């Protein structure tokens, strides 16, 4: 596996201005496409429940899926992201890949993660109680993760949210937490992430061994895919405040759409 180096997002070349070069890396059959949802296909919104894909973006994704093998990879629960994209013919990896579904009833849950579900049932009421006095905390329970959104929490109290969560997790080692954009995500402490989900999906989407892939995402959790996935390139949308393993960048969803249109012209 090639070793990748982290870069500052501002130093990444634009996937649009360098499209010719991007394209040169594609195999003749075209790349496999892996697309994140929030911040990539749908704008980031104040309330995670309001996130929606535009008709224009949806139509582009549909057309792309008719040209290239394609999967949507999200931190959202599988049923949630499937419902929001609303293209039943696609492959989806929900909860960072702990649950995967595809056309013709294809479905796969991570077996080790299934065993951790009771722990979520146990910690959810504890966390709700510990955080009840902090205004704006928003819980999102998914099958394999528990997300604690704090976009609405006063900045002065953000640290309190983090420390309360850390304290509860000290007694529950079967789960671990990851930080996203104004969200703490509690997930099974299993070495599994979007990158491993993509590696798994590559085998579903293509008969060939390790087909070239393009992964487009905006968040820290997408870094696992940028870093881990071999024989492919990563496209970072916007910035997430840290260095990145992506190869190219797109500024925003408008540029994502332009990138998709260029892919469709090929
Ligand atoms: Mg995202």
Report how far apart, in Å, the C-alpha atoms of 131 and of each of 8, 160, 164, 261 are: 35, 9, 7, 45
What is the C-alpha separation between 130 and 144, in angstroms, rounded? Answer: 21
Q: What is the pLDDT of residue 47?
A: 85
Average pLDDT, the chain: 94
* Rounded CA separation 146/23 (Å): 38
120 CA to centre of ligand 1 in angstroms? 23
Q: Which residue has the higher pLDDT, 50 or 46?
A: 50
* Distance from the alpha carbon of residue 105 to the mean position of ligand 1, in angstroms: 26
CATH numbers and ranges of domains, the chain: 9-110+192-265 (3.40.50.1000), 113-188 (3.30.70.1020)
pLDDT > 70: percent of the chain: 99
Specify the residue for token string 């528990």.
Answer: 146
According to DSSP H, which parts of 133-246 are helical? 158-170, 194-205, 223-228
CA 15 to ligand 1 center in whole angstroms = 18
pLDDT given at position 2 = 57
Per-residue model confidence as pLDDT tens digits over 237-252: 999 989 999 999 999 9
Looking at residue 216, its pLDDT comes to 98
Q: For residues 150-186, b (16+ Cβ closer than 10 Å) or e, as one string? A: bbebeeebbebbeebbeebbeebebbebbebbbbbbb
- Among 178, 188, 255, which Cα is nearest to 220's? 178
Asked if pLDDT for residue 266 goes beyond 80, the answer is: no
> Which whole number is the average pLDDT over 195-222?
94
Q: What is the side-by-side order of every strand in the sheet holding 99-101?
A: 107-109, 99-101, 91-94, 70-73, 32-35, 213-217, 232-237, 248-250
**Residues less than 5 Å from ion ligand 1, measured at CB:** 36, 38-39, 218-219
Confidence band, pLDDT 50/70/90 cuts, at residue 156: very high
Residue matched to tokens 């634009």: 14
Whether 129 sits among the annotated catalytic residues: the reply is no
- C-alpha distances out from residue 47 to 59, 140, 143, 203, Å: 24, 11, 20, 35
The answer to whether 227 touches 217, Cβ cutoff 8 Å, is no
Distance, CA 220 to ligand 1 centroid (Å)? 8
Q: Are 58 and 85 in contact (CB under 8 A)?
A: yes
- Sign of the Cα torsion 101, 266, 223, 254 reads negative
Residue 88 pLDDT > 80: yes
How many angstroms does the Cα of residue 218 sit away from the middle of ligand 1? 5
Which entry of 36, 38, 80, 224 is annotated as an active-site residue?
Answer: 36
Closest by Cα among 151, 157, 155, 156 to 184:
151
Check: CB of residue 204 under 8 Å from CB of residue 211.
no
Q: What is the largest CA-CA distance in the chain?
A: 57
The rounded distance, in Å, linking the Cα atoms of 9 and 76 is 24
């Amino acid at each position: 596996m090639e070793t990748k180096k982290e870069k500052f997002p501002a130093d990444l070349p634009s996937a649009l201005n360098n499209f010719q070069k991007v394209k040169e890396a594609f195999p003749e059959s075209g790349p496999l496409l892996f697309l994140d949802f929030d911040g990539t296909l749908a704008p980031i919104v104040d309330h995670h429940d309001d996130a929606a894909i535009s008709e224009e973006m949806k139509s582009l994704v549909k057309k792309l899926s008719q040209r290239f093998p394609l999967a949507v990879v999200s931190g959202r629960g599988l049923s949630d992201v499937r419902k929001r994209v609303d293209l039943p013919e696609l492959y989806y990896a929900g909860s960072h890949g702990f649950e995967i579904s595809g056309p013709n009833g294809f479905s796969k849950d991570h077996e080790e993660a299934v065993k951790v579900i009771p722990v979520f049932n146990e910690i959810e009421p504890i966390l709700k109680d510990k955080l009840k006095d902090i205004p704006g905390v928003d819980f999102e329970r998914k099958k394999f993760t528990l997300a604690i959104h704090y976009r609405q929490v006063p900045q002065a109290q953000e640290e309190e949210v983090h420390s309360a969560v850390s304290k509860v997790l000290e007694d529950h080692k079967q789960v671990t937490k990851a930080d996203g954009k104004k969200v703490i995500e509690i997930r099974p402490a299993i070495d599994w992430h979007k990158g491993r989900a993509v590696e798994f999906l590559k085998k579903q989407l293509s008969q060939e061994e390790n087909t070239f892939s393009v992964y487009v995402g905006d968040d820290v959790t997408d870094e696992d895919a940028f870093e881990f996935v071999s024989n492919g390139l990563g496209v970072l949308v916007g910035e997430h405040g840290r260095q990145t393993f992506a190869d190219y960048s797109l500024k925003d969803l408008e540029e994502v759409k332009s990138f998709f249109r260029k892919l469709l012209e090929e």
